[in-house]
Amino acid sequence: MKSCTIFAVQADGAELLTVEGLAAGAELHPLQEGFVEHHGLQCGFCTPGIITTAHALLSEEPNADAGRVREVLSGNLCRCTGYI
């Protein structure tokens, strides 16, 4: 769920997972490690959305191919530089 599309009160009682919640203390989630290793980090606005979207996809479709990943991540827009 994109946080900008719902009111906070609508999430009352829901379980929320943020990008910070992916890490286990100081140990980053493998997706976060991958972004660091492969220089995938962008800014603090889009990177959390990209990582949490990728996490949600891979939780439901662990064998998603590159085309599916591109399709799902297509909703994550870079508003500053136009990164694809």
The residue ranges that bind ligand FES (CB under 6 A) are 42-43, 45-46, 78-81, 83
Shortest distance, CB of residue 81 to ligand FES, whole angstroms? Answer: 5
- Tell me if residue 24 falls in helix, strand or coil: strand
Cβ proximity to ligand FES, 42 vs 64, nearer residue: 42
Distance of closest approach, residue 77 Cβ to ligand FES, in angstroms? 7
Phi-psi region of 82 (alpha: psi -120 to 50; beta: other; left: phi over 0): left
Residue with tokens 């662990």: 62
Residue 61 DSSP SS3: coil
Query: Least CB distance from residue 42 to ligand FES, whole Å?
Result: 3
